[in-house]
Amino acid sequence: MVIYKDPLCSCCESWAAAMRAAGFAVEVHNETDMTAIKRRFAIPADMEACHTATLDGYLIEGHVPLGAIKKLMAERPDIAGLAVPGMPAGSLGMGDDPQAAYEVYALSKIPGAAPTVFHSVRPAT
């Protein structure tokens, strides 16, 4: 996994540490122009988050939880990747709160196609 992040972003470091702890080989690239990285990988503006990663041909944008990444790797759908837009409180790297609720979106390979919900994170019961 290659992660592109701002050198001053601590939440990105927390997310990278979680990926390492899950067994992924992680290479971090500190970038001062993340806008250029978003454009390079054609991340839709409404799906942008603080860091961008690549994993086995897929894009991983933002604080995507480990469960969604494992599902992606197991199912291998024909998509460009996954995104958690913004920086949802309680997401992985942002506190990893079991009461957090947010969506993980699938990014289409078709330019301009709307993202779809790939995985929902809901509070633990």
Residue type, 30: N
**What integer pLDDT is reported at residue 73 of this predicted model?**
97
The DSSP H or E segment spanning 84 is strand 81-84
Residues 69 and 101: their CA atoms lie apart, in Å, by: 17
Question: How far apart (Å, rounded) are the C-alpha atoms in residues 99 and 75?
Answer: 26
Phi/psi for 107 (5° steps) reads -95, 125
pLDDT at residue 102 in the model: 96
The number of distinct structural domains making up the chain is 1
Q: Which two tokens stand for residue 122?
A: 């809901």
- pLDDT at residue 10, rounded to an integer: 84
Give me the domain span that covers residue 23. 2-121
Q: Which residues of the chain have pLDDT under 70?
A: none
Cβ contacts of residue 1 below 8 Å, gap of 6+? 19, 24, 25, 26, 27, 53, 54, 55, 60
Could you tell me whether strands 102-107 and 116-121 are parallel, antiparallel, or unpaired per DSSP bridges?
antiparallel
Give me the pLDDT at residue 11, please. 84
Q: What pLDDT does 9 receive?
A: 84
Which pLDDT belongs to residue 12?
A: 86
Under DSSP, the state recorded for 114 is P
Give the SS3 label for residue 23. coil
